Amino acid sequence: MLKIGCHLSNAKGYVNMMNQALDIGANTFQFFTRNPRGSRVKNIDHEDIGNFNNMMKENNFNKIVGHAPYTLNPASPDNRVLNFAYLTVEEDLSLMELMPGNFYNMHPGSHVKSGVEEGIKRVIDVLNQNMSNTMTTTILLETMSGKGSEIGRTFEELLMIIDGLNHPDKVGICLDTCHVYDGGYDIKEDLDGVLYELDKVIGIERLHAIHINDTKNPFASHKDRHEKIGDGYLGEEFFFKLINHKDLKDKIFILETPNEIEGYAAEIKLLKYNYGNIDF
């Protein structure tokens, strides 16, 4: 079965997100662990999370993805920004443990003129300080478009982070189709080649989730502006090929397209309709 969902607002809690997901035919989803542009942690509603965990089981739901806030920059040379990163990753990982066995997705961050290697060292330390061998969450490092001084445009950079971790078994990657295409991997013309490259450098078994976004900008533009499925440079056919790829059968697909809930429902329906002939 196609594992598909979209990014949902967690403003009304976890049970609410689950109901929305079920409503639109999703069997996974993504949410921000806190206000994406702010820094405040929401008060944790344990009852809501308990009920949510029961619904996960009852509905045989796939793993879900908690996304770190955009303000997180564990590669930053600025102490205030870096301290916020230590605190955020710590709090977010303990939140995620309330829903055991899911994914925590983060952008590796930007080195802001301090150099890729220095930036990567800081990311490694933020993670090593906060990961443990008892954690059940898998951290996903997201592939980035390379705008500004973003780390994670290349598979090699993500591997450098993974290689520095004390618990590499608890880390994987999330491939964002808009980001990699903007970043200079021609996933549209050569999907097999890009997946081969990913497998060679990082290992395809580390790939757990795929952000399916079309892009507003042409190949290698390093821009990162998401577009609705079929309305951008990647195009509908590409996404049908992607979800049906033999090496991606067990991956989780998450839409982060510029949509309201109705738009997401339509995209999920479209993708399901164009998925195999076995399950639908």
Q: Please report, as ranges, the residues that interact with Fe ion according to CB under 5 A.
A: 142, 176, 211
Choosing from 212, 224, 252, 255, the residue that interacts with Zn ion (CB under 5 A) is 224
206 binds, among Zn ion, Fe ion, none (CB under 5 to 8 A by kind): none
- Closest C-alpha to 168, from 213, 205, 215, 118: 205
- Closest CB 178 distance from Zn ion, rounded Å: 6
- Closest CB 182 distance from Zn ion, rounded Å: 8
Phi, psi of 192 (to 5 degrees): -60, -40
Query: Which one of 59-67, 85-93, 101-109, 218-226 is the stretch in contact with Zn ion (CB under 5 A)?
Result: 218-226
* Closer of 135 and 194 to Zn ion (Cβ): 194
Interface with Zn ion: number of residues (CB under 5 A): 1
- Closest CB 142 distance from Fe ion, rounded Å: 5
* Closer of 142 and 157 to Fe ion (Cβ): 142
182 binds, among Zn ion, Fe ion, none (CB under 5 to 8 A by kind): none
* Closer of 92 and 142 to Fe ion (Cβ): 142
224 binds, among Fe ion, Zn ion, none (CB under 5 to 8 A by kind): Zn ion
- Closest CB 45 distance from Zn ion, rounded Å: 29
* CA–CA distance, 124 with 126 (Å, rounded to integer): 6
* Closer of 178 and 191 to Zn ion (Cβ): 178
* CA–CA distance, 208 with 83 (Å, rounded to integer): 28
Taking CB atoms within 8 Å and a gap of at least 24, the contacts of 84-89 are 84/39, 85/109, 85/126, 86/126, 86/129, 86/130, 88/34, 88/39, 89/126, 89/127, 89/130
211 binds, among Zn ion, Fe ion, none (CB under 5 to 8 A by kind): Fe ion
Amino acid found at 148: G
267 binds, among Fe ion, Zn ion, none (CB under 5 to 8 A by kind): none
Q: Which residue is nearest to Zn ion (CB)?
A: 224
* CA–CA distance, 45 with 98 (Å, rounded to integer): 11
* Closer of 66 and 119 to Fe ion (Cβ): 66
* CA–CA distance, 215 with 219 (Å, rounded to integer): 9
- Closest CB 174 distance from Zn ion, rounded Å: 11
Greatest alpha-carbon span in the chain: 53
Who contacts 199 (Cβ-Cβ below 8 Å, separation ≥6)? 247
* Closer of 144 and 198 to Zn ion (Cβ): 144
The CA-based angle 99-7-180, given to 5 degrees, is 110
Which residues here bind Zn ion, judged by CB under 5 A?
Answer: 224
